[in-house]
Amino acid sequence: MKRLIILLIMLFGFSSVAAANEIYTGIFSNKAVSGYDTVSYFTKGKAVKGNNKWHVKYKGADWYFSSEENLNKFKSAPDAFAPQYGGHCAWAISAKNDLVSGDPKQWAIVDGKLYLNYDAEIKAKWDQDRERHILTADKNWMTLIQQQ
The reported pLDDT for the residue numbered 79 is 96
Q: Is the pLDDT of residue 60 over 90?
A: yes
Domain count, the chain: 2
Question: 86-114 pLDDT, tens per residue?
Answer: 999 999 999 999 999 999 999 999 999 99
Instruction: Indicate if 62 and 106 belong to the same structural domain.
Output: no
Domain end: 60, 82, 104, which one? 82
Tell me the Ramachandran region of residue 32: left when phi exceeds 0, alpha when psi lies from -120 to 50, beta otherwise. beta
Domain-embedded: residue 8 = no
Domain-embedded: residue 15 = no
φ and ψ of 63, to 5 deg: -110, 135
| CA dihedral over 62, 63, 65, 70, signed as positive or negative | negative
What mean pLDDT do residues 4-27 have? Answer: 54
Q: 41 versus 3: which is more confidently predicted?
A: 41
pLDDT band at 52 (very low <50, low <70, confident <90, very high): very high
- What does the angle CA 105 – CA 88 – CA 80 come to, to the nearest 5 degrees? 80
Domain-embedded: residue 145 = yes
Q: CA 88, CA 111: separation in Å to the nearest integer?
A: 18
Instruction: Indicate if 78 and 125 belong to the same structural domain.
Output: no
Instruction: State the distance between the two ends of the chain, measured CA to CA, in whole angstroms.
Output: 27
Residues spanned by the domain of 113: 83-148
Nearest residue to 118 (alpha-carbon basis) of 30, 28, 14? 14
| CB distance 117 to 123 below 8 Å | yes
DSSP designation for 146: H
| CB distance 48 to 128 below 8 Å | no
The reported pLDDT for the residue numbered 26 is 84
Q: CA 23, CA 58: separation in Å to the nearest integer?
A: 9
Domain end: 36, 67, 82, which one? 82
pLDDT band at 12 (very low <50, low <70, confident <90, very high): very low
Instruction: Indicate if 27 and 62 belong to the same structural domain.
Output: yes
Domain-embedded: residue 3 = no
Instruction: Indicate if 67 and 113 belong to the same structural domain.
Output: no
pLDDT band at 7 (very low <50, low <70, confident <90, very high): very low
